[in-house]
Amino acid sequence: MRQKRTKGARKVMQLYQSAFGFREPYQLLMDAAFVQSSVKQKFELMSRLHDVLQGVVKPMITQCCMQALYNLGEEAQDVVDVAKGFERRMCNHLKARPEDECLTAMAGSDNHNRYVFATQSLALRQALRKVPGSPIIYIARSVLLLEAPSDQTLAKKHQMETAKLHVSAQELAVITGKPITSSAPEPSTSTSTATAAADAPAPDAAPKKPRKPKGPKGPNPLSVRSKKKGAAPGGGEAGGRPPKKRGR
């Protein structure tokens, strides 16, 4: 079962890496309840997080979540000591806000900082599922679990993949070397005149010579030997010259 969970978590993180650009070390934002639960369960937190996310993890906690731990009093001093070892992430809230509100603000509308959220709050997990590209970790029955991608995350992934298959107008202009035009230009006067002239009937042209009918061709005159002229009357050769007599 543990091997199956590890394989599933690996596939989930590969999706976040390829579609949303997550890279190691993963920035993990934890709320007070998650830290408190991990201490109570006596987790080797960093080792467990590495196994779940299949990579190096950078644990973080916001000032608002840290204040929530302080508010627990001396009973949670051991939890506070553990949380002090995490990187303090500035949430820019001058006055401490509820943890769910603080972490929702850190996620924003698209989780552009690529945080991984570790929380035990069901309400916060429901809110984070609406933010595409937001991995969520929680503890259930002493087991650290990585949620499957939400419907919004899968829809955003499909949208980005579809957009890559189409060429934008700007890219098409670069490829073709033609400027982008919002509409077809109106034909100018010169263009209209040229079009009208092209459509006008052409004047009467000289009659074409009729083609010779096809048929058997005669012999090439250059390859035919000329006929010899006949002998002239009186035994002389043609041209009036008398024949020569041979001497005895």
Q: For residue 27, what are the domain limits?
A: 2-162
What integer is the mean pLDDT of 18-44?
Answer: 94
Question: Helix (H, G, I), strand (E, B), or coil: what is residue 117?
Answer: strand
Structure tokens at 121: 């709050």
Q: In what order do the strands lie in the sheet with 87-89?
A: 87-89, 57-62, 26-30, 115-118, 136-140, 143-146
75-88 pLDDT, tens per residue?
Answer: 999 999 999 999 99
pLDDT reported for residue 99: 95
Mean pLDDT of 184-204: 52
Q: pLDDT (tens digit, 9 = 90+) per residue, 138-161? A: 999 889 999 999 999 999 999 988
Provide the pLDDT for residue 36: 95
- Where is pLDDT greater, at 113 or 193? 113
HEC string of 170-225 equals HHHHHHHCCCCCCCCCCCCHHHHHHHHHHHCCCCCCCCCCCCCCCCCCCCCHHHCC
Contact 146, 136 (CB under 8 A): yes
Q: What is the CATH number of the domain that holds 73?
A: 3.40.50.1010
* Percent of the chain with pLDDT strictly greater than 90: 56
- Relative to beta strand 57-62, strand 143-146 is unpaired
pLDDT at position 163 is 82
Q: Is 242 a member of any domain?
A: no
167 — pLDDT class (breaks 50, 70, 90): low
Rounded Cα gap, residues 33 and 99, in angstroms:
10
Whether residue 220 lies inside any domain: the answer is no
Say if residue 126's pLDDT is above 60: yes
Whether residue 98 is contained in a domain is answered as yes
143 strand-pairing partners = 140
207 band by pLDDT with thresholds 50, 70 and 90 = low
Closest to 106 (Cα-Cα) out of 147, 139, 134, 70: 134
The verdict on residue 153 lying in a domain is yes
Q: How many domains does the chain have?
A: 1
The overall average pLDDT reported for the chain is 83
Beta partners for residue 140, in sequence order: 143
**Per-residue pLDDT at 204:** 56
**What pLDDT is stored for residue 179 in this prediction?**
73
Sorted by sequence, the CB contacts under 8 Å of residue 248 that are 6+ apart come out as none
Q: Write out pLDDT tens, residues 217-229.
A: 777 777 766 666 6
Instruction: Assign 2 to helix, strand or coil.
Output: helix
Residue 202, in any domain of the structure: no
